[in-house]
Amino acid sequence: MSIVDILKHKKEELFDAMSKKGREKFGERAVSPDVYETRLGICNKCEQYAFTGNCKKCGCFMAMKAWLNEKKCPMGKW
């Protein structure tokens, strides 16, 4: 396994953990898991989405921001 593969795997593990923690942390303020997945899917295809999981436009870590009902995409995509 190459170092790039290892880093990609670790990134996915981190995002999974952050996603689960976000849902637990935000409780009633959180969107449904379906809405969350839709939002992240949009982010993953966006030109402003960085490899680090941050939005280049607002700087937010999207695995957390996407959980919050009151938050919006700075590009107006969700």
Residue 35 to residue 59: CA distance in whole angstroms: 21
Tens-place pLDDT, residues 27-36:
778 888 889 8
Residue 64 pLDDT > 90? no
Closest CA to 65 of 34, 46, 43: 43
Tens-place pLDDT, residues 5-58:
777 777 677 666 666 666 677 777 888 888 988 999 999 999 999 988 899 999
Residue that has been written with the tokens 């396994």 in this structure: 1
- Write down the pTM of the prediction: 0.70
User: If you compute the radius of gyration of the chain from its CA atoms, what whole number of angstroms results?
Assistant: 13
| Joined tokens for residue 34 | 């379906």
